[in-house]
């Protein structure tokens, strides 16, 4: 995916969305050195914890084959099958947990580097990999030389770590033939323990360095161009022009609904020309008056015109009109601090009309 793009234009760090897309296509940070280190670490742990007991169990299971082979009845094919089932079952019982732990460590080496993902992208046939020229480029190109350098470096580092443990023990190795079998076993066990720790330490350093390298290469091949960043922003946040158009449409619809509610108002409070607030109050049904429409300038003029068409009383009260416009929204009740002033206006309207205005 990333290789098909013009690398000269990829100057921006990848976004989280691009990294998620790469993961969906099976492109993740993956260092084989980390997997190898975790697997060897697991093998050392299993051998240290269960090696002796497993070897003892195997020895006991094989004792019949070594000490009493004549007692194994193999006179017929059914006897052979029974013996084979016994051997497989015994070995499975002894070695099964060991292999299960090794598989867990092998899987853990991959899980530590990236979240588990399931994709069939890597299973799709890629006939370009059958190309002889492409194969030679992989072998003798930058990737091939880099792998060769990594291999040599790994052998050198691990070899040096092992040498630092063997060299101080050279005297012991020279006199090993003069010791008893028990002494040789003890010395070799101690030396093997030191060599294992040294090799694991060297592999840990190599794995850490390779993981940093693989992560750097992963980010490099998923870099984005400025245009890709803009396109992704548009997809996530929406085109600014489209969003502005949508806001305009919503505003127009809201204004139409608001103007349509003006005929139901009890009174229109005006500035008289700049502000207009339409209030509705149904005595006995509402706890307080509700603002059904408000506006300034052209919208205020439209509210007054509709009110005149439907004979809704208009009351000029500049301070109250400005205060209501600033503190109450459409379809909200009048704030308590304005109850008294609004009650006076509605009372004036009732006295003016001589009755409670029928609500439309």
Q: For the chain, give the mean pLDDT.
A: 78
With contact defined as beta carbons under 8 Å apart, do 38 and 112 qualify?
yes
Residue 59: pLDDT above 60?
Answer: yes
pLDDT score of 276: 92
Asked whether residue 228 carries a pLDDT value surpassing 60, the answer given is: yes
State yes or no: pLDDT of 225 exceeds 70.
yes
Higher pLDDT among residues 84 and 1, named by residue = 84
Which of 5-19, 273-287, 338-352 shows the lowest mean pLDDT across its residues?
A: 5-19
Residue 357 has pLDDT above 80, yes or no: no
Q: Is 269 exposed, middle or buried (0-12, 13-18, 19+ CB in 10 A)?
A: buried
Query: Is the model more confident about 189 or about 254?
Result: 254
pLDDT of residue 270: 92
Per-residue pLDDT tens digits for 119-138? 555 556 665 556 666 666 66
Mean pLDDT, rounded, for 165-180: 70
pLDDT digits (tens, 9 = 90+) for 196-206: 888 888 888 88
Residues 6 or more apart from 122 whose CB is under 8 A from it? 26
CB atoms within 10 A of CB 261: 20
Q: Which residue has the higher pLDDT, 61 or 125?
A: 61
**Mean pLDDT to the nearest integer, 82-87:** 75
CB 279 within 8 A of CB 348: no
- In this structure, of 138-152, 246-260, 326-340, the range with the lowest mean pLDDT score is 138-152
Shortest CA distance to 27 belongs to which of 215, 155, 300? 215
Mean local confidence (pLDDT), 173-193: 65
Segment of 31-35, 79-83, 138-142, 162-166 carrying the highest mean pLDDT: 31-35
Residue bearing the bigger pLDDT, 104 or 68: 104
**Is the pLDDT score of 315 beyond 50?**
yes
Position 176 scores a pLDDT of 62
Query: Percent of the chain having pLDDT more than 90?
Result: 5
Residue 159 pLDDT class (50, 70, 90 cuts): confident
* pLDDT for res 277: 92
Query: Percentage of the chain surpassing pLDDT 70?
Result: 75
pLDDT for 126: 60
CA distance 36 to 158: 13
Say whether 217 sits in a helix, a strand or coil. Answer: helix
331 φ/ψ sector (left φ>0, alpha ψ -120 to 50, else beta): left
**What confidence category does residue 269 fall into, taking pLDDT thresholds of 50, 70 and 90?**
very high
pLDDT over 70 (residue 239): no
pLDDT of 5 over the 60 cut = no
Closest CA to 199 of 235, 252, 240, 161: 161
The pLDDT of residue 1: 46
Is the pLDDT higher at 340 or at 356?
340
* Domains observed in the chain: 7-231 (no CATH), 257-353 (3.40.1690.10)
For residue 18, name the pLDDT band (cuts at 50, 70, 90): confident
């Amino acid at each position: 995916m990333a290789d098909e793009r013009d690398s000269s234009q990829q100057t921006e760090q990848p976004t989280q969305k691009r990294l998620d897309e790469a993961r969906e296509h099976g492109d993740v940070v993956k260092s084989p050195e980390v997997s190898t280190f975790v697997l060897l670490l697991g093998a050392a742990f299993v051998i240290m914890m269960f090696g002796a007991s497993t070897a003892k169990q195997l020895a006991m299971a094989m004792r019949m084959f070594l000490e009493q082979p004549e007692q194994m009845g193999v006179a017929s094919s059914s006897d052979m099958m029974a013996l084979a089932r016994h051997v497989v079952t015994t070995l499975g019982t002894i070695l099964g947990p060991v292999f299960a732990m090794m598989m867990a460590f092998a899987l853990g080496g991959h899980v530590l580097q990236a979240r588990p993902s399931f994709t069939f992208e890597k299973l799709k046939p890629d006939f370009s990999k059958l190309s002889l020229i492409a194969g030679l480029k992989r072998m003798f190109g930058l990737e091939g030389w880099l792998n060769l350098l990594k291999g040599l470096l790994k052998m050198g580092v691990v070899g040096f770590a092992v040498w630092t443990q063997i060299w101080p023990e050279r005297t012991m190795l020279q006199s090993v033939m003069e010791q008893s079998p028990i002494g040789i076993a003890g010395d070799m066990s101690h030396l093997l323990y030191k060599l294992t720790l040294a090799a694991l330490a060297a592999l840990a350093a190599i794995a850490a360095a390779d993981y940093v390298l693989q992560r750097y290469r992963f980010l490099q091949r998923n870099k984005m161009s400025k245009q890709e960043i803009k396109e992704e922003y548009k997809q996530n946040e929406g085109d600014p022009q489209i969003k502005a158009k949508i806001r305009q449409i919503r505003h127009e619809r809201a204004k139409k609904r608001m103007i349509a509610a003006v005929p139901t108002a009890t009174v229109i409070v005006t500035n008289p020309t700049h502000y207009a607030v339409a209030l509705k109050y149904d005595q006995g049904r509402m706890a307080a008056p509700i603002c059904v429409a408000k506006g300034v300038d052209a919208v205020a003029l439209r509210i007054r015109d509709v009110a005149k068409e439907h004979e809704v009383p208009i009351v000029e009260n500049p301070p109250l009109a400005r205060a209501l416009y600033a503190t109450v929204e459409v379809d909200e009740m009048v704030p308590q601090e304005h109850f008294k002033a609004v009650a006076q206006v509605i009372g004036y309207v009732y006295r003016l009309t001589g009755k409670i205005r029928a609500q439309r």
